[in-house]
Structure 1
Amino acid sequence: MTMDDYAACYSLWASTEGMVLSDSDSREEIARYLARNPGCSFVCARGDELLGTLLAGHDGRRGFLYHVAVATDRRGQGIGGELVKRGLAKLRAEGIAKCHLFVLAGNELGRGFWSRSGWEERNGILLFSSDT
């Protein structure tokens, strides 16, 4: 993924059920994320049509996946799985052995995808957030 993909990515994210966008998805913030995690994020496109996205990065210890999205009419074709495979391979190449992701409560579509993909749903973990 490069910043040339941003407008199409943002449009896909905005139309993806269960995905919530915030100020951290602005052009400037995504540019900063990509620069901090070079080569870790991917898009799938056919010609000018964006089919899927994956943002991947790490903090030096753990990997994180964000905004895994596939166009509604392209789901079930292995696009999401391939994007995840590529992102995880890049994280492994960076020395990252464990990866996390967040699924919002009530996002049954996302929850189903990750469960079918072999990811373990964790219990007993609470997420706290604060604006800095």
Structure 2
Amino acid sequence: MQYRSMTIEDYDAAIQLWQDTAGVRLRDADSKEGIARYLDRNPGLSRVAVDGGHMVGTVMAGHDGKRGYIQHLAVADDYRRRGVASRLVADCLEALRQAGIIKSHVMILRTNALGESFWNSLGWQRRSDVELFSFINGGGENV
């Protein structure tokens, strides 16, 4: 298994993995151009797991200079429960720590029970003191 930084050349395989993974919702911002901007703005923070040339895991990470954000964690069904997701998250958190970011957030869909269980198992805690509001600048669906 090879773990490395995600590049835009990984886009097609990542999109396919995200589409195949329950609990991952894609939006317009997940276009190839959107992901390229994200990777350029956050170099070396997003990670992939590759086995025999086949992408089996992804996670994206970035920060705003103060807080880290993790999204699109996905592992192929045949590779679950092997530590792939935990390794991807640990690698992202280490890269964020090296960038001076010590607190990170992850947002999961309320219907993603598997995701909730995974993040709980890593010691992440649900926040009940904040609500998330979103707005799409320039139109589109505000969800």
The 5 A counterparts of 1:1-132 are 1-132=6-137
SS of residue in 1 equivalent to 2:74: strand
Q: Supply the RMSD in Å over aligned alpha carbons.
A: 0.6
For 2:27 and 2:97, locate their aligned partners in 1 and report how far apart those are by CA, in whole Å: 28
For 2:11 and 2:135, locate their aligned partners in 1 and report how far apart those are by CA, in whole Å: 26
For 1:27 and 1:112, locate their aligned partners in 2 and report how far apart those are by CA, in whole Å: 30
Deviation at 1:73, TM superposition (A): 1.1
Structure 2 residue runs without a partner (length 5+)? 1-5, 138-143
Q: How many residues align?
A: 132
For 2:111 and 2:7, locate their aligned partners in 1 and report how far apart those are by CA, in whole Å: 31
For 1:46 and 1:131, locate their aligned partners in 2 and report how far apart those are by CA, in whole Å: 37
For 1:3 and 1:88, locate their aligned partners in 2 and report how far apart those are by CA, in whole Å: 21
For 2:9 and 2:53, locate their aligned partners in 1 and report how far apart those are by CA, in whole Å: 12
Q: Spell out structure 1 runs of 4+ moving beyond 4 A.
A: none
Greater displacement, 50-59 / 116-125: 116-125
Quick one: which amino acid aligns to residue 136 of structure 2? D
Give the percent of matched residue pairs that are identical in Structure 1 and Structure 2.
48
Equivalence for 2:3? none
Deviation at 1:122, TM superposition (A): 1.0
Structure 1 residue runs without a partner (length 5+)? none
For 1:40 and 1:124, locate their aligned partners in 2 and report how far apart those are by CA, in whole Å: 28
TM-score of the two chains, using structure 1 as the length reference: 0.98
For 2:47 and 2:24, locate their aligned partners in 1 and report how far apart those are by CA, in whole Å: 17
